[in-house]
Amino acid sequence: MKNNCRPLESAYITPDQASKIGGYCPMRYRQLAKAGDMRYEADSNGRIHKVNREDVGNYRKPQSGYRKHKPRQKKQQPEGYITSEEAKKITGYSEQYIISLGRKGTIRRITLGQTSFFSEDDVEKYAVADLVSRPKAALATGYTEGGITYKAKRDGVFYKKGGRVFFPRKWVQNMILGMKPLEEELFQTT
């Protein structure tokens, strides 16, 4: 006659067996046991060899594989304020220069975490006060008015007000220092 009896299941299982049941790695079950979140059996040195089967079943199983981190929440932009990237498009200055203007107090600035926001009114006032009209910019750089407008649109520093076109003074100075006039570029032989 055959014995059809199963051996009694122990109340304690190894962390490897627990990982198959619960979904976490064996080390996690050891950590939970050490933290007191789970009953366990240990040897005389304190090494955890077995954890309670019931506690493993009651511990929350991850939804699917690894737990995902919460995505970072985008900082809420205060009303009437813009980012340094938007201010760069309006003024033509680098983001670092705009941030330094904010630090000096020339432009009002609000910092949320590591993100700085600048008063849109102050940025526009600063940009208008430091603008050069298209005819003056063309005369100073040696470009035609169409050529300087094309380059300004390409660089994203084109500013229109009341039907007139303006460019940031600093951008025009950089054009004078670092660029050749359009005619020289066209007729240059290599």
Does residue 29 surpass a pLDDT of 60?
A: yes
Q: Are residues 119 and 134 in the same domain?
A: no
From start to end of 14-152, where are the E strands? 40-42, 48-52, 81-83, 109-112, 115-119, 131-133
Per-residue model confidence as pLDDT tens digits over 80-92: 999 888 888 877 7
Residue at 7 is within a domain: no
113 and 137, same domain (yes or no): no
Average pLDDT, the chain: 76
Looking at the fold, whether 50 and 98 belong to one and the same domain comes out as no
Distance of CA 158 to the CA centre of its chain: 27
pLDDT band at 141 (very low <50, low <70, confident <90, very high): confident
Does 120 lie in the same domain as 106? yes
Residue-wise pLDDT for 149-176, tens only, equals 888 888 877 777 777 888 777 778 787 7
Residue 3 maps to a domain: no
Contact of 117 with 77, CB cutoff 8 Å: yes
Rg (CA), the chain: 34
Reading phi first (left if > 0) and then psi (alpha if -120 to 50, else beta), residue 65 is in: left
Q: End of a domain among 107, 127, 147?
A: 127
Is 63 inside any structural domain? no
Residues 122 and 141 grouped into a single domain: no
pLDDT given at position 190: 45
111 and 156 inside one domain: no
Query: Could you tell me if residue 161 is inside a domain?
Result: yes
Is 53 found in the same domain as 19?
yes
Residue 43 tokens, joined: 């040897």
Q: Provide φ and ψ at 49, rounded to 5°.
A: -105, -30
In the chain, the number of structural domains is: 3
| Phi, psi (rounded to 5 degrees) for 37 | -85, -10
* pLDDT tens, position by position, 78-128: 889 998 888 888 777 788 888 988 998 889 999 888 888 999 988 888 876
Domain that holds residue 165: 130-187
CA atoms lying within 13 Å on the CB side of residue 72:
4
Determine, yes or no, domain membership for 154.
yes
Do 120 and 136 share a domain, yes or no? no
- Averaged pLDDT for residues 3-31: 76
Tell me whether residue 148 is in a domain.
Answer: yes
Quick one: 122 and 152 in the same domain? no
Torsion of CA 149, 154, 157, 158, to 10 degrees: 40
Let me know if residue 4 belongs to a domain.
no
Q: Would you mind telling me the total number of residues written for the chain in this entry?
A: 190
Query: Does a structural domain hold residue 94?
Result: yes
